[in-house]
């Protein structure tokens, strides 16, 4: 059984400024670095590998594990098209964005990646990683929406079950892959 430590990247400059990132990037803040350091210290098992999204913020976070980082673009955040880099406040008048935020089950992707596409690629990446590292502990650094979609898929719960669950910067989940069991926090 593969045990995953799934970790959201630490707080970034754009998180702090209230901007959407998607596939765009901004560096970790001092707070973000502290969040990640605190979570990484909770890892007690030796890691067989560390994987990260190809986004700079995920790579920066993954380096706190102090071992080689394997990059996998399938672990990237949802692609948000023209919303990327925009302030969340400016998008509050956009009905499509409001549906995305408040009722993702009704959201139909027009210029963005769909939740189904995101869930499929992240789940496939993790399945491949588990196959490469059976009976091992593996850290995976990804993103907030990607992690919510993945946790919903693993637990076979509707996305809404996880959607309004705020995943803080640097927050982690321990997942026993074959049993599909999830524990909040890194243990």
Q: Assess whether 111 carries a catalytic annotation.
A: no
- For the record, the structure tokens of 121 come out as 């690629």
Detail the DSSP E strand segments found in the chain.
Answer: 3-8, 49-52, 69-71, 137-142, 172-176, 181-184
Annotated binding site for substrate: 8-15, 57
Count of other CB atoms within 10 angstroms of residue 179: 9
Active-site residue, selected from the candidate residues 9, 113, 133, 143: 9
Annotated binding site: 8-15, 57
Q: Of the candidates 123, 121, 10, which has an alpha carbon nearest to the alpha carbon of residue 65?
A: 10
Active-site residue, selected from the candidate residues 63, 70, 73, 77: 77
Q: Assess whether 166 carries a catalytic annotation.
A: no
Distance CA(52)–CA(64), nearest Å, equals 12
Q: What angle do CA 35, 40, 42 make, to 5 degrees?
A: 105
Distance CA(124)–CA(118), nearest Å, equals 10
Which residues are identified as catalytic?
A: 9, 77
């Amino acid at each position: 059984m593969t045990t995953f430590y799934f970790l959201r990247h630490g707080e970034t400059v754009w998180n702090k400024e209230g901007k959407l990132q998607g596939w765009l990037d901004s560096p970790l803040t001092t707070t973000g670095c502290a969040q990640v350091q605190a979570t990484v210290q909770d890892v007690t098992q030796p890691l067989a590998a560390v994987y990260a999204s190809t986004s700079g913020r995920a790579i920066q976070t993954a380096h706190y594990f102090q071992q080689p980082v394997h990059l996998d673009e399938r672990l990237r955040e949802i692609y948000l098209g023209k919303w990327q880099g925009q302030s969340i406040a400016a998008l509050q008048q956009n009905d499509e964005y409001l549906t995305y935020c408040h009722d993702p089950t009704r959201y139909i992707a027009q210029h963005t990646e769909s939740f189904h596409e995101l869930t499929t690629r992240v789940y496939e990446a993790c399945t491949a990683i588990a196959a490469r590292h059976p009976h091992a502990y593996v850290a995976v650094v990804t993103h907030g929406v990607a992690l919510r979609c993945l946790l919903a898929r693993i637990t076979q719960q509707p996305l809404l079950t996880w959607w309004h669950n705020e995943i803080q910067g640097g927050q982690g989940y321990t997942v026993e892959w074959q049993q599909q069991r999830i524990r909040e926090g890194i243990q």
